[in-house]
Amino acid sequence: MLVGIYMPAGTVQRGALPPVDGLEIYFLRHAIQGIAGSKTNTDTQFVWFYEEGEEPPVQEVPCEAIRRPASLFTLSHGSAPTLEEAVANRQVDVLLTRIDAPQPLPKTVPKVLFLLDMYFQGEAQLIRTPAPPLHRKIKQACTEAKSILCPSEYVHKTCSSRLGMGLEKAVVARPGVNPVFKEPQGSIIDGPFALYILNRYTESGIPTLLAAIEKNRELFPPSLVVLGNARGNEPDNWGLPVVRIEQCPDAMTASLMQHARMCIYLSKGEGSGMTVLQAMTAGAMLVTTKLGANFEVAGMVPFYCEPDNSYSLLQVLHRMLDESPKEREKRRQMAHSLIVDHTWERCGTKVFSALKRSQL
């Protein structure tokens, strides 16, 4: 079975937030490694389609450039084949793609849709206001898809109600975690620091963090490490001396999580819980929200606050810093019991099941 993967940076849904932080790529790259590691699916091969002019997104599988789709103001151009032509040329058996992919999807092959989160609905859905109407292409993609791949029960149930589809069409493939997060790592930052994980889910939490620092700077360590791709709403002044890291390997992320005095993840709509899993595995003192899949993944291990309430964040930080070593050890033991079943091999098996089922 040859599986084509198409995970573009654009989106067809008006008002949606484009997935520019590579989270889908990270998830699927590790899931593919999990499929390879299981050694039971040796007949499965992959080819990753990416748009002309961009860098190949992965090194683990063959990649092929395709022509960019036309838009309202620009024509499709370039020497590369279209997605439909590339799928036909490669004789792809099944196409794995995002639900809101901007390219016209080929009708000649079965499709499995991947939803890392519900951000394709637009930002309105995340603040509990009515979501905008679904684009007709999203409705059509859901109708034609053989199955929909979800990383959590949160996404599973939410997409079922939002898309009006039966639960039986969705497959839940929970993410794993790289074992490097539990291996002791040397510190790469001098002195005590707080860690803020920045991605599409936590960009809206920046004002809450800034307000908390302004209200009680003494509660925070002397410096702040901000980890994640640059975002449009980043401030010029974070209120603390900042070490800015845009991208780093998992071992460096593990080091930051292990040595941070506090790991702050003020997320909205987190669909997979990958970052929470990593922080739990690293033994981080994690402050996050109950929104999205966080509570489903982490239970009572993290300290929870409201994402838009700086007073809530400060109260939680006070409680976290007052915990005794015995209480912290109990929290780490709870984390270990929750993460033991989260492996990329198990995730890969679920992904493979969804792909194989599309052939029936």
**CATH code for the part of the protein at 2-176+344-357:** 3.40.50.2000
β-sheet with 223-227: strand ranges across:
242-245, 223-227, 193-197, 262-265, 286-288, 303-304
User: According to the model, what pLDDT value does residue 268 have?
Assistant: 92
Residues forming beta bridges with residue 50, ordered by sequence position: 65
pLDDT at 202: 94
Stated length of the chain: 360
| Phi, psi of 112, deg, nearest 5 | -115, 125
CA distances from 75 to 227, 275, 321 (A): 37, 38, 57
Handedness of CA 227, 231, 236, 239 (dihedral sign): negative
The β-bridge partners of 6 are 49, 97
Architecture of domain 179-339: 3-Layer(aba) Sandwich (3.40)
Long-range contacts of 213-220 (CB under 8 A, 24+ apart): 213/238, 213/239, 213/240, 214/239, 215/310, 215/311, 215/314, 216/314, 219/314, 219/317, 219/318, 219/321, 220/194, 220/262, 220/317
* CA torsion through residues 191, 192, 197, 202, sign: negative
β-partners of residue 304 are: 288
Q: Give Cα separations from 310 to 158, 200, 247, 273, 291 (angstroms).
A: 28, 20, 27, 23, 16
pLDDT tens sequence for the chain (360 residues): 999 999 987 655 555 455 557 899 999 999 999 998 876 666 889 999 998 888 899 998 999 999 987 655 555 566 899 999 999 999 999 999 988 887 778 888 999 999 999 887 764 445 555 666 777 788 888 888 899 999 999 999 888 777 776 667 889 999 999 999 999 999 999 999 999 999 999 999 999 999 999 999 999 999 999 999 988 889 999 999 999 999 999 999 999 999 999 999 999 989 999 999 999 999 999 999 999 999 999 999 999 999 999 999 999 999 999 999 999 999 999 999 999 989 999 999 999 999 998 887
pTM of the model: 0.91
Strand partners, 49: 6, 64
Domain boundaries defined on the chain: 2-176+344-357, 179-339
Annotate 14-31 with b (16+ C-beta within 10 A) or e (fewer): eebbebebebbbbbbbbb
Question: Where do the H-state alpha helices sit in 164-302?
Answer: 206-215, 250-259, 274-282, 294-298
Distance CA 167, CA 283 (A): 35
**Fold match between domain 2-176+344-357 and domain 179-339:** yes
* Both tokens assigned to 86: 């590339």
Per-residue pLDDT, 124: 42
**pLDDT for 48:** 96
- The enclosing H or E element of 312 equals helix 310-321
Q: Which residue has the tokens 């912290």?
A: 328
Hey, how many other C-beta atoms are within 10 angstroms of the C-beta on 60?
Answer: 12
DSSP state of 182: G
